[in-house]
Structure 1
Amino acid sequence: MNEELRDELEAINSIYGDGCLVPSNEENIYILTPPGESSSLRIEFPPTYPAVPPVVLGTNSTGEHGRRGDAARELSLFCQALSTTYEPGAVCLFDAIEELTRLLELSVPEEPQEEDTTAPENTADTQPASQVTVDAKDINTREPPWIISDPFIEQKSTFVARCATVTSTEEAEAFVQYLLSTDKKVRTATHNITAWRIKGPNNTTFQDCNDDGETAAGGRLLHLMQLMDLWNVMVIVTRWYGGHKLGPRRFALINQTARDAFVKAGLVSENPNKKKGAGKS
């Protein structure tokens, strides 16, 4: 195992959990279990990788909870993801896994639907699999008091953040559902990453986040709010994918966009070293 592959293996397992990428009993062959997927793949890393690309040998295991056809679909999409992300001389597995996640979201097979009397009348709108449209009568119909960031654009990907003050997790969840059910452009975006921090009665606190398919982005967004000491606030960062992989740079853009919304809402100073309401020395 060369040094670059060793570093990549450690990075992949630290991001997605131990066991995501492990060596097999065969030389230069590893088992990749993409996060959230039922099957695992056999991948060969030639000794000269990353000067030459890895080779996908096939499915290793279909997983006990996998549905018929899932393994073949995931194998085909991973090969597609690898072909679009590999560049000679650069490790590519992180970007390939992220691209696989995006492709799987776009290609979720349709299943026979049971009768659902609460389904919205307009079913023509396409939505990412991780998002759910909720009938307006089932949610808080009061429009959230959004403060919206400037759009941040890089290589045709666009990021926009919305923040609002909230007093309960129920209110935060209702605000998310209101946005998704009333704004088609947001609803059909590639990702809607959310985070909130709320102080309740009796010194109880509530913190939560949702990656919406952008692995680790929600946790980073929540960590930003912790560093800023923000409470009773929620934020949604929407990303429209522009066709170019941004790599780790996208995390900086997500947080930068969120921070712009916090600044516009008066929740944090323009000075990045000064916390909102800090009065602490």
Structure 2
Amino acid sequence: MSEELKDEVEAINSIYGDGCLVQSSDDTNVYILTPPGESASLRIQFPPAYPAEPPMVIGTNSTGEHGKKGDAVRELSILREAVGTVFEPGMVCVFDAIEELTRRLEESMDFDQVEEDEVTLNEPQEDSQANPNVVDFSNMPEPPWIISDPVIELKSTFIARCAAVSSTSEAEAFVQHLLSTDKKVRVATHNITAWRIKGPNNTSFQDCNDDGETAAGGRLLHLMQLMDVWDAMVIVTRWYGGHKLGPRRFALINQAARDAFIKAGLVEENSANKKKSKN
């Protein structure tokens, strides 16, 4: 095992949990990858020259606790494509391949959900009224969104929406309304959310959601803290453009959010630029 592969195995298992990437018992050059979630376990063969040469995804090891054979075959194909996309000679690539696999699986799940939603919308009205516990967010008034200018880099597009909110339930309802009424947003790669609300008796509420873009929600919330934005929420939608942006994506997410805050009058433009320079 090369030092690069040894370090990569340790890093992968520290990020995703012990057992994510382990050496096979029948071949020292083969490792079993069990991606996060309920994905299938897949076999990856690392050539002695790795990372100068790419690894090979050679087959499935299991279909997972709740998986199906068809799902495992699909994940095998996606991981092979992901490795081919992210590999660069001399650079370890398993982390990027896992992230790409996760992104593509989430993307396919989003499109599956859209199809289910469309089927539901075409069902007879009495069926949707049969369950009184189902909330139809599409019937609520349009939230007072203020929308940023699009931020585009390497074909990835980021758009932020912010709105004034007075409670966490209102913020959550605004999110659900947007997802239920805007198909383009619903099938986006990520919808990253954060809000900060002042409650009675000096209480405060703040929360965030990465929506699969690891650490992005926390960074968005941190931006609101730096800009002292209260009683507001923001959703930054990203459509992946086929090129990895690395850490640069966090700056683009915050850029779109900052533009929405300025357009909404939540912060002054000069103050926002000062905060940007300071940080």
**Does TM, normalized by the shorter one, top 0.5?**
yes
- Determine whether 1:206 maps to 2:205: yes
5+ residue gaps, structure 1, are 123-134, 276-281
Offset, 1:229 = 4.6
Q: Secondary structure at the match of 1:174?
A: helix
Structure-2 change in CA distance of 1:273 and 1:212 (3 Å): closer
Check conservation: 2:152, 2:158, Cα contact below 8 A: yes
**What is residue 33 of structure 1 aligned with on the other side?**
34
* One-letter amino acid matched to 1:272: K
State how far apart, in whole Å, the 2-side matches of 1:167 and 1:274 are. Answer: 30
**What is residue 103 of structure 1 aligned with on the other side?**
104
Q: Secondary structure at the match of 1:119?
A: helix
Which is further off, 148-157 or 194-203?
Answer: 194-203
State how far apart, in whole Å, the 1-side matches of 2:162 and 2:112 are. Answer: 34
Check conservation: 1:95, 1:247, Cα contact below 8 A: no
* One-letter amino acid matched to 2:275: P
- Determine whether 1:84 maps to 2:94: no
Structure-2 change in CA distance of 1:247 and 1:37 (3 Å): farther
Check conservation: 2:137, 2:173, Cα contact below 8 A: no
Structure-2 change in CA distance of 1:235 and 1:68 (3 Å): same
Structure-2 change in CA distance of 1:182 and 1:65 (3 Å): closer
**What is residue 158 of structure 2 aligned with on the other side?**
159
Q: Secondary structure at the match of 2:44?
A: strand
Offset, 1:52 = 0.5
Which is further off, 33-42 or 18-27?
Answer: 18-27
**What is residue 8 of structure 2 aligned with on the other side?**
8
TM-score by length of 1: 0.77
State how far apart, in whole Å, the 1-side matches of 2:201 and 2:15 are. Answer: 35
Cα deviation per residue 1:146-199 (whole Å; 9 max; x = unaligned)?
Answer: 222221111111111111221212111111122223333323322222222333
Q: Say what the alpha-carbon RMSD is for the aligned residues.
A: 3.3
Q: How does 1:114-125 map to 2 (within 5 A)?
A: 119-121=120-122
Cα deviation per residue 1:231-271 (whole Å; 9 max; x = unaligned)?
Answer: 33211111122222223322332223223323333444221
Same amino acid, percent of matched pairs: 75
**What is residue 142 of structure 1 aligned with on the other side?**
141
State how far apart, in whole Å, the 2-side matches of 1:11 and 1:241 are. Answer: 26
State how far apart, in whole Å, the 1-side matches of 2:275 and 2:7 are. Answer: 32
Check conservation: 1:29, 1:44, Cα contact below 8 A: yes
**What is residue 238 of structure 1 aligned with on the other side?**
237
5+ residue gaps, structure 2, are 124-133
TM-score by length of 2: 0.77
**What is residue 22 of structure 1 aligned with on the other side?**
22
Which is further off, 157-166 or 24-33?
Answer: 24-33
Check conservation: 1:139, 1:174, Cα contact below 8 A: no
